[in-house]
Each structure stands twice: as structure tokens, then as C-alpha cells.
Amino acid sequence: MFKAIVLRREATEPGFGAAIEALEEAQLPPGDVTVRVTFSTLNYKDALALTNRAPVVRSWPMVPGIDLAGIVEASAHPRVQAGEAVLLNGFGIGETHWGGLAQRVRVSGDWLTPLPINLSARQAMAIGTAGFTAMLSLMALEQHGLTPERGEVLVTGATGGVGSVAIALLAGRGYRVVAATGTLEHTAYLLGLGASEVIARSAFSIPGKPLQKERWAGVVDAVGSHTLANACAQCQPDAVVAACGLAQGMDFPATVAPFILRGVTLCGINSVYASQSKRSVAWHRLATELDGQLLEAMTREIALGETFAAAEQLLAGQLRGRLVVNVNR
């Protein structure tokens, strides 16, 4: 038997339920690798699933959790060995396939990434999909020619998981980072991660002009909607923008002006189905470039049963940084 958070949707009212249940391994979905999970994490998408605020879950019942790290218990996959330390983020777990907020999972070995030797399972989950997305964003900016000498980089949603890791990564590579947040009381936290300046998100969150005063050489945006549109409108010529989130909304109320008059490049970041070659590069860079002390400073560990309250707090904008879930607590 093992414990897992299970989401169920019934035909009768109230129709949705979320609870910790005791399950048998025979109930696990198909897969060629069984993993004993040690740590998971709580992302924005997980919070949406746990509260049923958005149609994240595509198959019922569902064990949520888009991240996990643990030890392989059994494997019929030629590339994965029993006893191996692994991590998994994306590939639809927690959405179409049972995910990581559980003490056991059964998944495809093709989805697994070996845990980097200089990362613990807890550190990997402190990074999680949020940090992985931040690294993919940095990689996209640099692949399109961004260097520290080009100018300032804006990070929106700065106190969130993606924003926090993005600030630490960018500052570590010598960029001057400006953090935009709706919680200015966390200014000291953001400066501690490496931000050079902290500004209010209110300047971005309402409709603005198609072209605005040039400032940003690069942008990492985890917010979407008017925030992304205004960030693009404030970009320098040949700036690069990585769009990786939709906390404000999925809409993009912009014009083509920044792209055809200033040559701005907009890069979409897909962390769910990134190739294994890209994953290997990203996780290696995270293991070697992300300051371990900064990672710990932005991380809080919670027990499996605490995720329900934490999900509500996360969606209400009351949390900062990263939450690691110890599934065995």
C-alpha cells in the first residue's frame, strides 16, 4: 500500500473531490518503470488541478503532480535500471497520467531523466518544472543572441517559482535583472536572489500603447496577457522575449508593431514535451549554474497533507519561491 493524493470527479454534486487515499500498487496505471517517490513539488498547474480551478486534469481519477524525484524500484525498460536515482517533469503526468504527489508511480522509462550526480532529489524538486522552465527560457534568450552587455532583462511574476529561479540564473551569468512583482513587500527577497531593481507589476497589467519607451534587451514572462504585451512594447530593437506562463491570462492583446518595427523575437517555452536532448542540457546547467544557497533560500518543504492549503495560497499570490513536497511526511 502507498499514499497518494487522488482527484475524483463524480456525476453528482458537488462533483469534485481531492483527498489522500491509500492505494495498492495493482491500481497504478500502465508503464514499464515503477519509482519510489521521495520528493515532489507544487507548481501553479498543480494548484489549478488540486482546486479544480481550470481543466488541467484530462483523465479521471487522477493523481496530480507534474514533478517527481525518487528511486527506481522495478524496470522493464532497457535504459533504466533498478536502484537508479531519477527525476521526471512533464510528459503529461498529473494531467493524463498519474503524477508525483504520491509515494509510488508507474511511468514510461522514456520520460525519466537520470538525477544529476551533484543534485539531491530534494534539490531537484526545489528546482522542479518551474526552475526547468526558467532554464529553458534562459537558453532561448541566449540562443537568440542575448548577452549581458545588451542591457537589462525583465522578469515578470518575479516572486513565483519560475521568476525566482530565472532571477538567480540570470544574475549568476552577469545579467542586470529587473524584477516585476505585485508584492513589493518581498523586495528584499528578490534583491537577495540577484535582482538589481524591483518594480511594481501594476505598470504592466493594464492595456498600454503598441510601442512604448525602449528599455528591455530580454524578457522572461510567466504572466501573459497585458503584462506580456506591454513587456514586448517596451523592448529594445532585436530584443528577445521568452513567454512561459499565463498567470494573468492566456490572451495576448498586442499588435505586431514590436516585431516588425523593432525586430523583437518572441519565443514560446514548452517545458512539458521538451526533447530529452534539451532536458539533458537544461538539467546539467541547472545542476552546475544555480547557486545552491539561493535555491535553499527560495525553498520551503511541506508534507503531502499540506498541499491542499498551499494550493489555495499559491493561487491567491500569497506564496513566494518554491515548495518541495515530502511525500513520506
* Nearest C-alpha neighbor of 225 from the set 210, 204, 239: 204
pLDDT single digits (tens) 134-160: 999 999 999 999 999 999 999 999 999
pLDDT single digits (tens) 44-59: 899 999 999 888 899 9
Mean pLDDT of the chain: 94
Across residues 256-276, what is the average pLDDT?
A: 96
Which overall architecture, per CATH, does domain 128-268 show? 3-Layer(aba) Sandwich (3.40)
Q: What burial class does residue 256 get, using C-beta atoms within 10 Å of its C-beta: 0-12 exposed, 13-18 middle, 19+ buried? A: exposed
Strand partners, 86: 70, 114
C-beta separation of 93 from 59 below 8 A = no
Q: Give the whole-angstrom CA distance, residue 19 versus residue 305.
A: 9
C-beta separation of 166 from 155 below 8 A = yes
- State the pLDDT at residue 55: 85
User: H-helix or E-strand containing 168?
Assistant: helix 161-172
Across residues 7-23, what is the average pLDDT?
A: 83
Residue 73: what residue type?
A: E
- Residues spanned by CATH 3.40.50.720 within the chain? 128-268
- State the pLDDT at residue 12: 58
Write the CA distances from 178 to 151, 199, 236, 267, integer angstroms. 11, 7, 15, 19
pLDDT over 90 percentage in the chain: 88
C-beta separation of 87 from 284 below 8 A = no
**pLDDT surpasses 90 at 14:** no
C-beta separation of 247 from 316 below 8 A = no
Q: Give the whole-angstrom CA distance, residue 159 versus residue 179.
A: 8
**pLDDT surpasses 60 at 197:** yes
Q: Grade residue 203 by pLDDT with cuts at 50, 70 and 90.
A: confident
pLDDT single digits (tens) 206-242: 999 999 999 999 999 999 999 999 999 999 999 999 9
C-beta separation of 167 from 158 below 8 A = yes
- State the pLDDT at residue 126: 96
Residue 280: what residue type?
A: S
Q: Characterize the bridge pairing of strands 33-41 and 322-326.
A: antiparallel
- State the pLDDT at residue 96: 95
- State the pLDDT at residue 129: 95
Q: Give the whole-angstrom CA distance, residue 303 versus residue 233.
A: 42
- State the pLDDT at residue 34: 98
C-beta separation of 291 from 169 below 8 A = no
Q: Grade residue 182 by pLDDT with cuts at 50, 70 and 90.
A: confident
- Neighbour tally for 265: CB within 10 Å: 20
- Residues spanned by CATH 3.90.180.10 within the chain? 2-115+298-326
Place of cell 508584492: 183
C-beta separation of 326 from 101 below 8 A = no
Cα torsion 37, 41, 44, 50: sign: positive
C-beta separation of 322 from 302 below 8 A = no
E strands, 42-84, are 67-75
C-beta separation of 51 from 64 below 8 A = no
2-115+298-326 belongs to which CATH class? alpha beta
pLDDT single digits (tens) 17-43: 899 999 999 999 999 999 999 999 999
Half-sphere exposure of 235 (CA within 13 A, CB side): 32
**pLDDT surpasses 80 at 305:** yes
Q: Grade residue 10 by pLDDT with cuts at 50, 70 and 90.
A: confident
Half-sphere exposure of 72 (CA within 13 A, CB side): 26
Q: Give the whole-angstrom CA distance, residue 61 versus residue 9.
A: 7
pLDDT single digits (tens) 75-121: 999 999 999 999 999 999 999 999 999 999 999 999 999 999 999 99
- State the pLDDT at residue 11: 55
